[in-house]
Amino acid sequence: MVPQQTYLVMHDVYLAQIKHKSDRLMNYFLISFFITGVLLALFYDTWLVAIGVGSLSLLAYYSTRFFLPGSNVYQYIVSAVFAIFMAQFIYQMHGLFEMHFIAFVGSAILITYQNWKLQIPLAAVVMVHHATFGYLQYIGYDKIYFTQLDYMTLQTFIIHGALATVIFFICGLWAFQLKKLNERQIEQNFEMGRFQEEQLQKKVLLQSNQELKKSNKELDRFVYSVSHDLRAPLSSMLGVVGLCEMGTLDPLMQKNVTLLKSSIKKLDGFIMDILDYSRNSRLDVDRQEIHFTDLLADIAGNLKFMGADDQRKVDIRTSIRNGVAFYSDKSRIGIILNNLISNSIRYQNPQAAEPWVEVSVEVSESAANIRVRDNGIGIDRENQTKVFNMFYRVSSQSIGSGLGLYIVKETVEKLHGAIELQSEPGKGSEFKIHLPNLAQPAN
């Protein structure tokens, strides 16, 4: 359930509880008022008023509550009923003025519903009763038993009215404040619950993250050692194939040996990709001074894929400008360049007069900008972002695992750098890499 819904449910449950409790309270008060009326009838012989008015009031209240249980109209009725009981008692006691206090008792009882508007019917009936009966008595009508006080002037009426208004206002204000206070309490409880739940979720997430990291590390170690171990038999196989090539073979055998050799090389390339991938995620970023000239010479001598045997040799041109020392992770930069140069060799354009790849490096105090440009087959616009995806190959004829550029991108990101590709089919590709100079150890 979304939090807002949960909050609303909590709020509704709370309102239902208040309503239920207050309704029960009203039963007790209304029955007590009715019994009080009956007891007063014993002394003042006002049975008709006690039973008649009392039971009509109860009937009005309970029938509304019964027929309209969903609405709160019956709460407004009970408010008016309290005022009527007050008038009834005043009348029954032949104008005992102090019976006005019953209205104030009713006003206080109504606070329990936490709705200030419930004060309105009570106040209205009291005012109308007070004004009408007071006036009637004032003009000399003596059958109404309004008050035993022997004075009732406009000034007295205004004072009574003002005092009653203050009481109704205070009770209304309390009802309102109680409601606000409780709503704030629900909100706080809700926030607290949500906070606790969030903390719990964070803890669970942290735990499962740690477990995931642990099992990822184990998996990585396993992949690394398996890949590593697989390369040894491949090297022996390549050795045996080499020996076979030295002997005299019939053309079919020669073809098979060549095929076997290229398959072994392909498999070796896959394994190297997996090893690079595993190394990149497993090892922390190292920091040493990079001499690009030496590094590129190393890479050129150790390229991952040397290309198919029927491919032409690619001219590797380098241009390095580094006036300042550049620090970064040497083996990771090796992985990046090895993959990019190998691709330029493999995806050479048969149409081009002479295939070449140009590696240029410009080092500044803050960064190294590396460009690997070739005149190969190029990559169309649609595939230019996809080639960085894991296992993505532009066509089924692509010679590789589809992991190379993914590893390049991951490695560049690990070194906090950025990579960009520009390419035109039939003309060539250019990979631009921006790597920060880690001259100062990263904090």
Structure-block tokens of residue 73: 């109209």
Task: Output the DSSP codes for 241-293.
Answer: HHHHHHS---HHHHHHHHHHHHHHHHHHHHHHHHHHHHHHHHSPPP-EE--HH
Taking Cα atoms as reference points, which of 430, 336, 339 lies closest to residue 379?
430
Taking Cα atoms as reference points, which of 276, 268, 274, 308 lies closest to residue 397?
308
**333: how many CB neighbours lie within 10 A of its CB?**
25
Compute the least distance from the CB of residue 350 to ligand ADP, in Å: 13
- Of the candidates 95, 161, 193, 402, which one interacts with ligand ADP according to CB under 6 A? 402
- Of the candidates 227, 338, 401, 411, which one interacts with ligand ADP according to CB under 6 A? 401
Compute the least distance from the CB of residue 394 to ligand ADP, in Å: 3
Report if residue 400 touches ligand ADP, rule: CB under 6 A. Answer: yes
Report if residue 394 touches ligand ADP, rule: CB under 6 A. Answer: yes
Select the span of 24-32, 110-118, 123-131, 394-402 touching ligand ADP (CB under 6 A).
394-402
**Rg of the chain's alpha carbons, rounded to an integer?**
47
CA dihedral in degrees (143, 145, 148, 153; nearest 10)? Answer: -80
- Of the candidates 78, 299, 377, 438, which one interacts with ligand ADP according to CB under 6 A? 377
Give the x/- contact pattern for ligand ADP in 310-349, rule: CB under 6 A: -----------------------------x---xx--x--
CA dihedral in degrees (172, 177, 182, 185; nearest 10)? Answer: 180
Report if residue 376 touches ligand ADP, rule: CB under 6 A. Answer: yes
Compute the least distance from the CB of residue 254 to ligand ADP, in Å: 27
Select the span of 37-45, 134-142, 320-328, 401-409 touching ligand ADP (CB under 6 A).
401-409
- Of the candidates 405, 412, 415, 419, which one interacts with ligand ADP according to CB under 6 A? 405
Q: Cβ closer to ligand ADP: 33 or 406?
A: 406
Determine the Cα–Cα distance for residues 126 and 115; give it in Å rounded to an integer.
19
Q: Cβ closer to ligand ADP: 290 or 377?
A: 377
Report if residue 429 touches ligand ADP, rule: CB under 6 A. Answer: yes
Select the span of 113-121, 151-159, 258-266, 395-403 touching ligand ADP (CB under 6 A).
395-403
Can you name the residues that pair with 420 across neighbouring β-strands? 432
SS3 category, 316? strand
Q: Cβ closer to ligand ADP: 12 or 413?
A: 413
For 363, the enclosing helix (H) or strand (E) is strand 356-363
Task: Classify 400 in phi/psi space as left (phi over 0), alpha (psi -120 to 50) or beta.
Answer: left
Report if residue 374 touches ligand ADP, rule: CB under 6 A. Answer: yes
C-beta separation of 183 from 11 below 8 A: yes
Report if residue 393 touches ligand ADP, rule: CB under 6 A. Answer: yes
> With contacts defined by CB under 6 A, how many residues of the chain interact with ligand ADP?
22
Task: Output the DSSP codes for 80-149.
Answer: HHHHHHHHHHHHHTTS-GGGGHHHHHHHHHHGGG--GGGHHHHHHHHHHHHHHHHHHHHTT--SS---S-
Report if residue 398 touches ligand ADP, rule: CB under 6 A. Answer: yes
Select the span of 50-58, 250-258, 391-399, 412-420 touching ligand ADP (CB under 6 A).
391-399
* Residue number, nearest CB to ligand ADP: 400
| Residue count (the chain) | 443
Report if residue 404 touches ligand ADP, rule: CB under 6 A. Answer: yes
Give the x/- contact pattern for ligand ADP in 1-40, rule: CB under 6 A: ----------------------------------------
- The per-residue b/e assignment along 112-143, b for 16 or more CB within 10 angstroms, e otherwise, is bbbbbebbebbbebbbebbeebbeebeeeeee
Q: Cβ closer to ligand ADP: 229 or 380?
A: 380
**For binding to ligand ADP (CB under 6 A), which residues are involved?**
339, 343-344, 347, 374, 376-379, 387, 392-394, 398, 400-406, 429
